[in-house]
Structure 1
Amino acid sequence: MKELGKINSLLVNRFTPNGAYLALREGGEVLLPKSYLKGTEKEGDEIEVFVYTDSEDRPVAVTNKPTALLDEFAIMEAREITKFGAFMDWGLPKDLFVPKAEMAKPMIKGEKYLVRICKDYKTDRLIGVSKYEDFLIKDTRGFEEGQETEAAIFEETDLGYKALIEGNFEGLLYKNEVFQPLEIGDKIRVFIKKRREDGKLDLQLLPRGREKYEEGAEKILEVLKIRKFLPLHDKSSPESIKELLGMSKKHFKQSIGQLYKARKIAIKENGIELI
């Protein structure tokens, strides 16, 4: 069935007490249950639906959309774990099943994972696959160092945070360069730090060079506009600076230097204040 796993515009063929039967492109019909009908539909009307299989593996259409379509990634929470696999929340009444053989690692209920929507050609149904690396694009020559892009955080490791870039590429934010809380599923703005030989991308949260200090200086100014004074200075501990501003001590010193030269702040023995 070509419509499986996709958003389709299908015509209403007929109505029954159970709902509306929609015409498939290559013949046959699929049921749109009554609960998804507004009550104003007529035969011949075109309705936009997502097609998948119900709990009895029968094709069914719904008007709400999942977090990802066929051949796309999404970060999903594991709702239930069984000896056969895991059931993932993807925004539809029937959870998406990830077979045990398709797990990159054992899943834990309540945790979030990067999952690819795939078609099981043996059963003709949609399944999830968390062995994501086989689907990623390794050729990252289209990216340039310093380029800004969007990223979705999908895994935390000892080294840092793995991120999905533009739905097809893998990037890494190093922990020692992250000065803000990040959680699995967060979608954030990042900058390309380096293109690695293995096709993966090293990322950073702030732009390179002088722009970095401008952004840090702007953040300090915004805080000072509210608090007027910050008990931070050259001798402050890195932990205190990170707690109050979410940045490294080096970044803080560079930023207040720029603000001081611009006569935006005054530097006191016990902190900084807005001029």
Structure 2
Amino acid sequence: MINIGKINTLRVVAQYPFGYALAPIPQDSPAQDNIYDADQDEQLTVTLALEEVNSELKEGQEVEVFVGSDQRGDLYATLQTPKIQVGETKVLKAVSATNFGAFFDWGLDNDLLVPNDYQAQLSKRLGMYYVVHTFYDDKTQRILGATKLHYFLKESSAYLNEGDTVSCLVYAKTDLGFKVVINEKSLGLIFHSDAFKPLKVGQATEGVIKTIRDDGKVDVALQRVDKGGRDALQQAILDDLVAHGGISTLTDKSAPEAIYSHFNVSKAAYKKALGALYKQKKITLSPDAIRLNKTEK
């Protein structure tokens, strides 16, 4: 089987003046034993243009290629590696636009079309980067892109649990917060109140599943907000004090950027951790410094 829009390992079954015919490797026999007979089913072959090949290929040789489709829906093979394959969601640059869609650079000679019907608002601004999902359209027999991600990715996921650490890709900013793609599989939201560091569309960041709502929608935080996360931050503060002779000038009055740079947490979380350590009599607080109590050294 040939997977359209993906990298395939195919076998050379014939050579023509203009290129090589490639076919799937039979699964019921070792790859080196039998050469696929292209006459059995011409629909299972795809052509690799001769000008793409630096050295002559032999019949029966295996080659790794990307299988794409042209404007007419005809398949072709290329040795070029695209920036995105069918089923993936990546950040791509808009390079041109027409009255029927926008074109994006996906690393191949022919740009990726995102038709108007699959575009989110303002995804025709040339030179801008957008989060694009790629799919194979059976109707047009073409590989297309979409910036309307909800057409392909769900806003809920059975595999996620609260507290899971996940990878996030920001794809939109709203009045509520930042919409993100979670693990390239589903959609979620980081509320503005949980976005303690600057975020922008196209930015990748690590997050933690904060809440899975009754309707299945997922809220993401940039830091752990459970007891495990609080305990880990408190211990990190103590370890940092020990490493610096029992004193730190990073207080609850410090800039949020300085706190995030040092501990990768929000100022609010840092202040809560300091308060907890103070109540436990592990540290002493002053306007200009934090000091580790002697019993903790």
Give the TM-score of the pair, scaled to structure 1. 0.80
Contact 2:48–2:76 (CA under 8 A) maintained in structure 1: yes
Query: By how many angstroms is 1:106 displaced?
Result: 2.7
Q: Does 1:184 align with 2:205?
A: no
State the partner residue of 2:32: none
Residue 144 to residue 4, structure 1, CA distance change in 2 (3 Å):
closer
- Matches for 1:185-224 after TM superposition, within 5 Å: 185-217=202-234
Contact 2:155–2:188 (CA under 8 A) maintained in structure 1: no
Deviations 1:19-38 (CA, angstroms, capped at 9, x unpaired):
43323684254232345435
Quick one: which amino acid aligns to residue 53 of structure 2? L
- Matches for 1:1-275 after TM superposition, within 5 Å: 3-15=3-15, 18-23=18-23, 26-28=41-43, 29-34=45-50, 36-39=52-55, 41-54=57-70, 58-107=74-123, 108-217=125-234, 231-234=249-252, 236=253, 240-246=254-260, 247-257=265-275, 263=282, 267-272=285-290
Aligned-partner SS, 2:42: coil
Quick one: which amino acid aligns to residue 164 of structure 1? V
Query: By how many angstroms is 1:15 displaced?
Result: 3.8
Residue 249 to residue 208, structure 1, CA distance change in 2 (3 Å):
closer
Matches of 1:218 and 1:19, distance apart in 2:
63
Residue 18 to residue 219, structure 1, CA distance change in 2 (3 Å):
farther
Matches of 1:187 and 1:139, distance apart in 2:
20
Matches of 2:218 and 2:251, distance apart in 1:
35
Aligned-partner SS, 1:179: coil
Aligned-partner SS, 1:216: helix
Contact 1:241–1:248 (CA under 8 A) maintained in structure 2: no
Aligned-partner SS, 2:255: helix
Supply the RMSD in Å over aligned alpha carbons.
3.3
The structure with the largest alpha-carbon Rg is 2
Gaps of 5+ in 2: 25-37
Query: By how many angstroms is 1:269 displaced?
Result: 3.3
Deviations 1:206-253 (CA, angstroms, capped at 9, x unpaired):
22323223443466578775899654434x2xxx43121124433122
Identity of aligned residues (%): 33
Matches of 2:102 and 2:15, distance apart in 1:
35
Name which of structure 1's ranges 241-250 and 225-234 shifts more when overlaid on structure 2. 225-234
Residue 56 to residue 267, structure 1, CA distance change in 2 (3 Å):
same
Residue 218 to residue 173, structure 1, CA distance change in 2 (3 Å):
farther
Name which of structure 1's ranges 12-21 and 71-80 shifts more when overlaid on structure 2. 12-21
Matches of 1:52 and 1:172, distance apart in 2:
33
Name which of structure 1's ranges 27-36 and 100-109 shifts more when overlaid on structure 2. 27-36
Query: By how many angstroms is 1:172 displaced?
Result: 0.5
Quick one: which amino acid aligns to residue 183 of structure 1? K
Matches of 1:30 and 1:118, distance apart in 2:
19
Name which of structure 1's ranges 17-26 and 194-203 shifts more when overlaid on structure 2. 17-26
Quick one: which amino acid aligns to residue 94 of structure 1? N
Matches of 1:79 and 1:226, distance apart in 2:
51
Matches of 2:245 and 2:115, distance apart in 1:
53
Matches of 2:221 and 2:93, distance apart in 1:
26
Residue 57 to residue 141, structure 1, CA distance change in 2 (3 Å):
closer
